[in-house]
Structure 1
Amino acid sequence: MKGGAPMQHHDSPVLSADSVAPEEIAHFSDLATRWWDPAGPMRPLHAMNDLRTGWAMRHLPAPQVDDGARRTLLDIGCGAGLASEAFARAGFDVTGLDASQAAITAARLHMRHHPLPRSAGPLSYRCGSAEELVAEGARFDAISALEVIEHVTDPDAFLRMLGSMLRPGGAMVVSTMNRTWRSMAMAKIGAEYVLRLLPVGTHDWRKFITPAEMGQYAAHAGLRITDIAGMVPGLGGWRESRDTAVNYIVAMVRD
């Protein structure tokens, strides 16, 4: 997440308790009770959720295989479950993981009060870190990391940890923000200070990641990028774009 030169490549994931910054956990924990309010502090995520999950599902393996078994998906940094529920409705067997207990509690409460349809795949939530799953030898067919990599302490090590949990032939989708002057003006100053779309302090522009840096992190993780798209807001809602200067989303595979 640091600006400047990319991190050095290491041969194996760095397992430390520090991949999730404590101040980031505290910030999003404070927002947990209003996470599912489309007019609340997380309204930008509500607005972009259909685009990012729809794009992700076009680039992830099909939720079910020929024999009817469901493919497993890890939604890391799931917050209160906006994307997790969408992936479960699509048919994946979803594990939603977040380091904030308040967010996980909000996710479980929402699912309890708004049960998923019978056609949905299983959805379970867990409070914890990627390091814990790696230590347990967890493996998944698909991984989503949506608006999370810019909040960890070391994005290079974080992506390598996620890559180590992806089964051969599996795919991962990562969305984040580019470190440009436009993103500073729009996503940081505009969204937080002028329009008040997000609480002040939601983002640290210095931690935004350029597509070139993302490509290096993916290579370090043994992943191949298969597609990248910009995500831009408009009067008719968020749409896919070739413009990656602010928000963008990337698909990666493990061959």
Structure 2
Amino acid sequence: MKGGATMQHHDSTVLSADSVAPDEIAHFSDLAARWWDPSGPMRPLHAMNDLRIQWSLRHLVAPEDAQGARRTLLDIGCGAGLASEAFARAGFDVTGIDAAQAAITAGRLHLRQHPLPASAGPLAYRCGSAEELVAENARFDAISALEVIEHVTDPAAFLRMLGSLLRPGGVMVVSTMNRTWRSLAMAKIGAEYVLRLLPVGTHDWRKFITPAELGQYAAAAGLRVTDVAGMVPGLGGWRESRDMAVNYIAALVRD
């Protein structure tokens, strides 16, 4: 993810032990204290965050409806809030949820120390799971699931669950990693063992998801893929590309 390698760290641990293995939660809890350090273990997320957010904002529903009311956005697996804060600045009413209490604590601390501008939408963090939101019959106008789905135990069930949290006409943005030999070489071996951009054990290449698989999971969840793009690093920062061999991002609509 960061620096010059094309890979990703996921924004958090996501959900509960039902959806994500306990070792995933523990792994990202250990990293929470340095989540906002742009040169720390989350530096790949910092590097790619502008591209992820700008692409998402082009595809999500507008932050306000025709009457000027703020639309709601769920940032699932929010970690310490890199994306959550950006979506709030854009004007959404944001709920950031993560299963790792340490990450949520770090997000709340950063928000207190660096308050959002008055023009921003509200941002509330919650330690919990998507399963809890489903049980509460929660619904959102938009959902972001950035670098999350490759860490869950059952990606098809995960997407169905998120689809049930999305209002009709709502849009979900999912970014993840493709399961190719290039991603194995660059995002796993290169990033974790050679360049040491990520802690060893961050990714399980076998759990990476191809765009075709994501499309199948989306269709089964009642969602329609409206756009997909690759994300690649360069000297001037991360950029959108037709090359989806390693990192990619997709927009899904609930009709």
Q: Deviations over 1:152-172 (max 9, x none)?
A: 110000000000010000000
1:205 is matched with 205
1:213-228 pair list within 5 angstroms = 213-228=213-228
Letter in 2 for 1:196: R
1:7 is matched with none
Q: Distance in 2 between matches of 1:16 and 1:53?
A: 25
Q: What percent identity do the matched residue pairs reach?
A: 87
Q: Distance in 1 between matches of 2:105 and 2:28?
A: 13
Deviation at 1:119, TM superposition (A): 0.3
Q: Distance in 2 between matches of 1:194 and 1:21?
A: 26
1:137 is matched with 137
Letter in 1 for 2:74: L
1:80 is matched with 80
Q: Distance in 2 between matches of 1:76 and 1:188?
A: 23
Deviation at 1:20, TM superposition (A): 1.9
Q: How many residues are matched? A: 241
Letter in 2 for 1:231: M
> Could you tell me the TM-score, scaled by structure 1's length?
0.93
**Could you say what secondary structure the match of 2:167 adopts?**
strand
Q: Distance in 1 between matches of 2:94 and 2:156?
A: 24
State whether residues 16 and 99 of structure 2, in contact with CA within 8 Å, keep that contact through their aligned partners in structure 1.
Answer: no
1:87-126 pair list within 5 angstroms = 87-126=87-126
Deviation at 1:67, TM superposition (A): 1.5
1:10-159 pair list within 5 angstroms = 18-159=18-159
- Tell me, which stretches of 5 or more residues in structure 1 are unaligned? 1-14
Q: Distance in 1 between matches of 2:90 and 2:83?
A: 11
Q: Distance in 1 between matches of 2:119 and 2:22?
A: 37
Distance change >3 Å, CA 90–CA 66, structure 1 → 2: same
**Could you say what secondary structure the match of 1:33 adopts?**
helix
Q: Distance in 1 between matches of 2:65 and 2:211?
A: 32
State whether residues 98 and 104 of structure 1, in contact with CA within 8 Å, keep that contact through their aligned partners in structure 2.
Answer: yes
Distance change >3 Å, CA 242–CA 118, structure 1 → 2: same
Q: Does 2:247 correspond to 1:254?
A: no
Deviation at 1:66, TM superposition (A): 2.1
Deviating beyond 4 angstroms after TM superposition, the runs of 4 or more aligned structure 1 residues are none
1:175 is matched with 175
Deviation at 1:217, TM superposition (A): 0.3
Q: Distance in 1 between matches of 2:47 and 2:35?
A: 13
**Could you say what secondary structure the match of 1:29 adopts?**
helix
State whether residues 32 and 102 of structure 2, in contact with CA within 8 Å, keep that contact through their aligned partners in structure 1.
Answer: yes
State whether residues 35 and 80 of structure 2, in contact with CA within 8 Å, keep that contact through their aligned partners in structure 1.
Answer: yes
> Could you tell me the TM-score, scaled by structure 2's length?
0.93
State whether residues 75 and 95 of structure 1, in contact with CA within 8 Å, keep that contact through their aligned partners in structure 2.
Answer: yes
Q: Deviations over 1:10-37 (max 9, x none)?
A: xxxxx98511211100000000000000
**Could you say what secondary structure the match of 1:27 adopts?**
helix
Letter in 1 for 2:48: M
Aligned residues: CA RMSD? 1.0
**Could you say what secondary structure the match of 1:212 adopts?**
helix
Q: Distance in 2 between matches of 1:98 and 1:112?
A: 18
State whether residues 91 and 120 of structure 2, in contact with CA within 8 Å, keep that contact through their aligned partners in structure 1.
Answer: yes
Deviation at 1:68, TM superposition (A): 1.3
